[in-house]
Amino acid sequence: MDLPEPALPDAIGRYQIVRALGHGAMGRVLLARDPVLDRLVAIKLLRDDLKLPPEQRQSLFDRMRQEARASARVLHPNIVSLHDMGEDPELGLYLVFEYVEGVTLKERLGRGPLGPEAAAKVAREIGDALNTAHAAGVLHRDIKPENLILSRTGAKIADFGIARVPDSTLTRDGGLLGTPAYSAPESIHHGKFSPLTDQFSLAATLYEAISGRRAFPGEDALAVATRIATEYPPLIAAASGLDPHVDTVLLRALDKEPKKRWPSTDDFGRALSEALLAAPRSHMPTLPDQRREQAMRHGAERRGARLAIGGFVIGALLGAGGLWIYSRQDTSPLPAPIASTAPTAEPIGFLAESPPTRAKRSAESEEHTHRTVTERDAGSDDATDADADGATNLPALMNEDDDAGTPSADAGVSVKSKPKSP
C-alpha cells in the first residue's frame, strides 16, 4: 500500500526543511538547510503519524540515542557522518546526517557489475572504513548493496547510527519482511556478531558487485539462510576474466567458520583489491573448490540446518542490521535510518562503469570533484525480491511499501578529502 506523505514541518530544531527525500511505513528522511553552517543536511526521524505505544516509542528513542552517540565516535571519509541529534516536541528524536550525492551500490548494479578497478576501490575503501569502526568497538551489522553509496569522492557506508525497531514490526500479515542475503552463518544460526560477521557481509556484497549475481540466492528467507549455512557460492573469476585469487580471497572471507576468515576487513579489502587488479593467471587455486565441494557433500547437514534455522530466522536473524556496539552487555539491536534519492545525472565515471565500457573511460571520469552539497534519488526496492533483507532496520522500514512506488532516500554532505590511492 502506498502510504501518504506526512505534512512537512517548516523547521526541525534550527534546520529549515527544504523537501522530503523519502518515506515509508516507519520513518522518513527530509532534506534541510542548516542556516548556521550554511549547508544541506539529511534529517532522519520516525513518522510522526506512527502509532506506537508510548513506552515502546520512548524505548526506541533511548536506544537510538545510545547508538547515535557511539556512531559519532567513528570518523572516516568513507562513512556517512552523523552531524547532530535532537528532539522535537512534536516529532520526537531526529538525527542529522551529512548529505551525499551518489547512488547506492544496489542502484548501480542495476546497470551491470562493477569493473575490476571500481570494485577494487570499493573493497579497499569500505574495508578500511569498517576496520576503523571495529577499532572503535562499533559493528555495522547490515552491510549490503543498499547501504553503500557511490559518490564522486568514493564509496561511503551509510546506516551507522540506528539499529532495529521493536519486534512487532518484524512481520507484515504474518510474513517475513526480508531475507538474510548478506548475513554471516553464525549470526543466522546462533545470533552471534563480531567484526568477522561484517566481513562476511562485505564479502557477499562484493561478490555480487563483481559478478552481478547474489552469492546466496533463494526463494525465501529460509532457503537463503540454509544456503548461507551450508553452501559456498560458485566461482566467478574465470567467467569474469579475473585472476583466480579473486575467488580465493572472497571464499576465505565467506568461510563458515569465523576464525578462518581474514584477520580484519582491512586485510580482506586490500587482498581483494590486489587480486582484482592483478593480471589473469592460467591456473586455478584448489582451496575454493575444496571448500565448496566439502560444503555440498553434507546433504544431511543441510536438512538439519534448515530445520534449526527455521526456528531462529523469524526471531534473531531478522534482528540483524544497523549499528551495533559489540562490547556492551545488551544484545538487542536498534533501527538504522538511511534515505536514498535518485540522481539526475550519472554519479561518477569509474564507479559507474561496467566491464564493457571500461576502455572508454576518459580522464574526466577519473577526476575527483569535491563538492559540499549533493543529492541523489533512489529507485524503489522490489518488494517481491527474496533478498530485500534489511527489513528490520529503519532504512528498510522506510522502504517497506516501496513496491507501491514510494521512493526512499539516502543522504549526506560529502567529506572534502582526497580518495585514498590504490
Q: Is 142 a catalytic residue?
A: yes
Q: Name, in order, each residue with C-beta under 8 angstroms of 274's C-beta and a sequence gap of 6 or more.
A: 120
Q: DSSP string of 75-137?
A: --TTBPPEEEEEEETTTEEEEEE-B--SEEHHHHHTT-PPPHHHHHHHHHHHHHHHHHHHHTT
Record the cell numbers describing residue 263, joined without a space: 584477520
Residue 38, number of CB atoms within 10 A of its CB: 9
Query: Residue 108 and residue 263: Cα distance in Å, rounded?
Result: 29
From the candidates 142, 159, 247, 381, which is the catalytic residue? Answer: 142
Phi, psi of 324 (to 5 degrees): -145, 125
> 324-325 and 138-139 as β-strands: parallel, antiparallel, unpaired?
antiparallel
Closest CA to 97 of 419, 415, 313, 413: 413
Closest CA to 70 of 319, 330, 325: 325
Residues with catalytic annotation? Answer: 142
